[in-house]
Amino acid sequence: MHAVRGKCGFVKKSKAERCGKVSRVQFLRHSASRHEVVAKQPDHDLRKGRRIVDLKTLATNMWCDNCNDSLSLRHLQSEESRGLASIFTVRCHRCLALAQVISDKPTRSPKSGRLVFSVNCKAAFACIDTGVAHDQLNKFLSAVNVPPIPRNTMKVAEGIVSPAIIQTAHNSCQEAIEEERELTLKASRSEGELSALPEERAVDNPALNTSNASDSPTEQISEEWAVDDPAFNSSIASDCPTEEISEEWVVDDPFNSSHASDCRTEQAEVNQDKPDDVVPITCKYDFGWNKRGNGHAYDSHSGHGSAIGNYTNKVVAYDAMSKYCALCARGHSAQDHECAINYGGSSKGMEPFTAVKILLKNEQFSQGRVRLGTLVGDADSSTMAALSRESAFPIRKFLDLNHGLKAFSRALWVLKKSTFKWLTAEAIKNLTSRCLGYALAQNRGDVEATRRAIMNIPEHVYGNHTSCGDWCKAKDNPNYVFKDFPSKQPLRDPAFKATLIKMLQDMADNAEQLAPGGSIQQNESFNHMVATRAPKSRHYCGTNSNYLRVSATVSYKNLGAEHSEAVFKSANLSPTVNAFRVSVQRRREWKARYQSRLDVKSRRLHLKTKNLWAEADAARKDGPSYESGMSGVMERAVASSDCSSDWLPPPCDISPDCAVVYVDIETTGFLATDQIVQVAAKCGDRQFSVFMMPTVSFHAIASAKTGFKVFRGELMYREEVLTTTPPLNAAEQFITFLAECGPQVLLVGHNIIRFDAPRIVQWLEDLSCLKDFCEVVCGFTDTKPLIKQGKVGGQEELAKTYLVGPEWEVHRQGAHNASSDVILLEGLVRHFKVGVNTLKTSAVSSREFFMNRAMLKRRRFLLPQLAELKGKVSDLMIGRMAAHGVTISDLQREFDKNGVPGLTIFLGMHINGKPRVTASKKIVNAIAEHISGKENLPPL
């Protein structure tokens, strides 16, 4: 035995060699790992950011195949992004081997064979199903710190889910067709109609009509009608004439109200046990374009048509049209790519073209043993004409009531603008929604009753109620108020009655199409769903993306919110494990039931009406604020009303600690040119009073009432000589007193706005003390509207009635002395409990007061220039126009440029929350007539 010396003594040679090998491996492992980590350390930390991973797939792959040990992302060496998925390169901490770990399940593209991960395919489907574009998705991912998806990866993923989306939509349509067929047959039997199918008519097309007339019995005819494809069935002649056979085309739907003939009954008995017969169904059809039309140009490159079953309310057929391809527009050949163009006509022609394609040339209809029997649509005659031209069978058409009512309303609005300007919006709404709408709703299913109700509308609105039913409240009440009509009375214009009768006669002629009460609301809802997945603001028709988004909408419409599971199953993708889609579907079903309740509909209508009232009230308060091409008129209106040419105090808000000062003056008379002889003020315990010698004589009535007079060069009050102060000194003392009351003062007086304040301001302006006054005074409050009791508003009368204590006797006797008047006014304010906050909120700011003062000056200057409008409008309106700087030349200019609308904006523009002059159409029209007549006067 060989022995060697170790750390702990002698050991066997073989054991020492084994220990040496382990030490060398540990050293090499440590040095190599450290070296590679340093050498291969990337510029950025791979562990930063967020990743979307499939937990099961990641857990399965985080295992080393060499040493069968678990891997750790702490030893991440590199990452290869594949959209939302990643391929991680991880070094095993045990054997140092590199292993590739994928974060999601992979799949391969059937076209290119490229490896694509499931998460990218589901992201592509999510973009299509939610209406999110690729750029928007990447913006969202960058916001949550997830690596974005390259465009090429997204396109490959779309190529995988696209066939699944289309196949799911087609399968849902096939199921909807079969369900519609069963419900149509069931409804036909329950309503006493034929249990089997009605016969088909003998068409005139020789290519289809190959059999000759014969006297064969009915049994032989029935055998001829048991066909699989009615489009290629030879027509059969029988003993029943063609007209009688055509009556068999009674569509098996709730709209049907005709009676079965003898020939039809006989045919029903023969065909009772024919389950493979072709069933005529009722379809609701509408078309939508992917570009908003502005009423003048309809040039959308793409659109989509949908046919929805009458009983199932599911899409039974659809298609998307496109006349633009992005690659073809760049010069590519149509053979080197999947061209998106499938239509070459006009944009408007897409609707009838699609209708023929999906309703008459649909292979799924043949497979489902159905055909189009009745079409519910709008008043698009080209669609029905195209279907009638291409169809070998008769097709009935029922009109959508909403489109019919809207067309009638639009016709009335055209009449209002052109001929009958007295029509109001309320009258048009009454004629449309109440009169015509109720007539169609109350007589649904009865053609003759519908026709009579339509033609009775003119008689009803013109006061003749002999043909009205019990619903008419005016029938037994001669004083009934027509609240929606002008003057609250029945209509009286004979010309409008003749026009109304002609319009309604056209609708009565179509009573057969209106009486069933058809509706394409489901199609409109489908178009809205498409708009959420293919917004009109985005261009998707350059590729097949638009068709994919329409197909996804069809799946959602037919299968509900869980349609994604059908798409994933078809594309061999893993199903969704969370229950979010289930909750969405439950919420969708609950919302549909909730919104169909009558109380909810009434509540919704009430809120809509309430919002309309609130909006109309707000628009009336705001005045003209958005008028096409009228910005210049608004600017000129504001400029002419501007008073900035006169001096105005700076804007100043009334502060909470503003001092309240009661003020009163005595003058030599009642005119604005009379002079002040006394100014008195009171603020708490502070009082101020000063007398001034006037330079003009007292008015006799004013002197007798106030007791002031000038005798022998002395100012006297009730035979007592007063000490006077020069006006300039008095003004300075008055301003000093106000400044001592507080940094900001609110002057309170009885009728101060109309009497005291204008005279005080004029007095101070003449003495050049106005700016010093405005630095202290922030506003004025008139107490007259605050303490007025009925018709009693004078301060003297109020004091005699309510201030009856002995302490008030001396002040009542000193009435018309400003010192006593301010004390009485303060007592009245306290007696009626008018708080300080009320005084401040009722105040007129100094700036507003000076603006009104400037407007009065301008009114006096411009009033003579508007004298020619006397007799056309009231003196009040003329005064308002003069106050706001309106001249005849301004009116002439606006009328020449913009006509009556220009005058309406120029005079109705709101200034400080009120119309500048007036918003009355009657006054504006009177001014317009005067201006136009003046313009057309013959030259002298």
- Sequence-distant contacts of 879-888: CB under 8 A, at least 24 apart: 880/917, 880/918, 881/907, 881/917, 882/858, 883/855, 883/856, 883/858, 883/859, 884/640, 884/641, 884/855, 884/911, 884/916, 884/917, 885/640, 885/641, 885/642, 885/858, 886/640, 886/862, 886/917, 887/862
Question: Confidence class of residue 327 from pLDDT cuts 50, 70 and 90?
Answer: confident
pLDDT for res 538 = 85
* pLDDT at 30 exceeding the cut of 70: no
Question: Confidence class of residue 217 from pLDDT cuts 50, 70 and 90?
Answer: very low
Q: 117-155: buried (b, 16+ CB within 10 Å) or exposed (e) per residue? A: bbbbbbbbbebbbebbebeebbeebeeeeebbbeeebbe
Nearest one of 547, 557, 520, 548 to 314, comparing CA atoms: 557
Nearest-angstrom CA–CA distance, 118 and 110: 14
Nearest-angstrom CA–CA distance, 152 and 83: 9
Give the 3-state DSSP-derived string for 472-498, with helices as H, strands as E and coil as C: CCCCCCCCCCCCCCHHHCCCCCHHHHH
Nearest one of 404, 258, 402, 288 to 350, comparing CA atoms: 288
* pLDDT at 384 exceeding the cut of 80: yes
* pLDDT at 8 exceeding the cut of 90: no
* pLDDT at 933 exceeding the cut of 50: yes
Question: Confidence class of residue 12 from pLDDT cuts 50, 70 and 90?
Answer: low
Task: Count other C-beta atoms under 10 Å from residue 231's C-beta.
Answer: 15
Ranking 21-35, 306-320, 584-598, 720-734 by mean pLDDT, the lowest is: 21-35
Tokens 């009454």, residue? 430
Average of per-residue pLDDT across 239-265: 36
Report the share of the chain in percent with pLDDT over 70: 81
CATH topology of domain 659-842: Nucleotidyltransferase; domain 5 (3.30.420)
* pLDDT at 798 exceeding the cut of 70: yes
Angle (CA) 862 868 871, round 5°:
115
* pLDDT at 260 exceeding the cut of 60: no
* pLDDT at 340 exceeding the cut of 90: no
Ranking 45-59, 202-216, 790-804 by mean pLDDT, the lowest is: 202-216
Question: Confidence class of residue 475 from pLDDT cuts 50, 70 and 90?
Answer: confident
Q: What is the pLDDT of residues 490-531, one digit of tens each?
A: 998 999 999 999 999 988 998 898 988 888 989 999 999 999
pLDDT for res 842 = 92
Give one word for 396, left, alpha or beta, with left for phi > 0 and alpha for psi -120 to 50.
beta
Ranking 81-90, 272-281, 788-797 by mean pLDDT, the lowest is: 272-281
- Strand 279-289 to 370-377 pairing: parallel
Q: Are 692 and 747 within 8 A, CB to CB?
A: no
Please classify residue 98 by burial: count the beta carbons closer than 10 Å to its beta carbon, then call 0-12 exposed, 13-18 middle and 19+ buried. Answer: middle
Nearest-angstrom CA–CA distance, 199 and 192: 17
- Residue 674 main-chain phi, psi, to 5 deg: -70, 160
Task: Count other C-beta atoms under 10 Å from residue 657's C-beta.
Answer: 8
- Residue 288 main-chain phi, psi, to 5 deg: -130, 145
Give the 3-state DSSP-derived string for 590-617, with helices as H, strands as E and coil as C: HHHHHHCCHHHHHHHHHHHHHHHHHHHH
The count of C-alpha atoms lying within 13 angstroms of the C-alpha of 247, restricted to the half-sphere facing its C-beta, is: 14
Nearest one of 678, 668, 676, 755 to 703, comparing CA atoms: 668
pLDDT for res 378 = 86
Q: What is the pLDDT of residues 94-150, one digit of tens each?
A: 889 999 999 998 887 777 677 789 999 999 999 998 888 889 999 999 999 999 999
Q: What is the pLDDT of residues 411-457, one digit of tens each?
A: 999 999 888 989 988 899 999 988 999 899 889 889 999 999 999 99
pLDDT for res 582 = 80
* Helix 545-559, helix 563-570: angle, nearest 10: 120
Cα dihedral sign, 370-374-379-384: positive
Q: What is the pLDDT of residues 820-876, one digit of tens each?
A: 899 999 999 999 999 999 999 999 999 889 988 888 888 888 888 888 888 889 988
Nearest-angstrom CA–CA distance, 57 and 14: 45
Whole-structure pTM value = 0.64
Question: Confidence class of residue 257 from pLDDT cuts 50, 70 and 90?
Answer: very low
Question: What is residue 373's three-state secondary structure?
Answer: strand
Q: What is the pLDDT of residues 143-186, one digit of tens each?
A: 999 999 999 889 888 888 999 999 999 999 999 999 999 999 99
User: In angstroms, how far apart are the furthest CA atoms of the chain?
Assistant: 157
Please classify residue 774 by burial: count the beta carbons closer than 10 Å to its beta carbon, then call 0-12 exposed, 13-18 middle and 19+ buried. Answer: buried
Q: Are 762 and 793 within 8 A, CB to CB?
A: no
- Residue 283 main-chain phi, psi, to 5 deg: -120, 140
pLDDT for res 543 = 86
**Amino acid (1-letter code) at residue 22:** V
pLDDT for res 779 = 94
pLDDT for res 920 = 86
Tokens 């009232």, residue? 613
Q: 47-78: buried (b, 16+ CB within 10 Å) or exposed (e) per residue? A: eeeebbbbeebbeebeebeeeeeebeeebbbe
Angle (CA) 228 230 236, round 5°:
110
Question: Confidence class of residue 626 from pLDDT cuts 50, 70 and 90?
Answer: low
Nearest-angstrom CA–CA distance, 791 and 794: 9
Q: What is the pLDDT of residues 635-668, one digit of tens each?
A: 666 666 665 556 788 888 888 889 999 999 999 9
Question: What is residue 326's three-state secondary structure?
Answer: helix
pLDDT for res 648 = 84
DSSP string computed for 3-31: EEEETTEEEEHHHHHHHHHHHHHHHHHHH
Question: Confidence class of residue 629 from pLDDT cuts 50, 70 and 90?
Answer: low
* pLDDT at 541 exceeding the cut of 90: no
Q: Are 924 and 918 within 8 A, CB to CB?
A: yes
- Strand 659-667 to 745-749 pairing: parallel
Q: Residue 649 carries which DSSP code?
A: P
Dihedral (Cα; 109, 114, 120, 123), 10-degree rounding: -50
Average pLDDT, the chain: 81
Q: Are 412 and 431 within 8 A, CB to CB?
A: yes
What order do you get walking across the sheet with 708-711 strand by strand?
A: 708-711, 714-717, 720-721
Q: Are 255 and 398 within 8 A, CB to CB?
A: yes
Higher-confidence position of 134 and 580:
134
Nearest one of 427, 439, 179, 440 to 310, comparing CA atoms: 179
Nearest-angstrom CA–CA distance, 121 and 118: 5
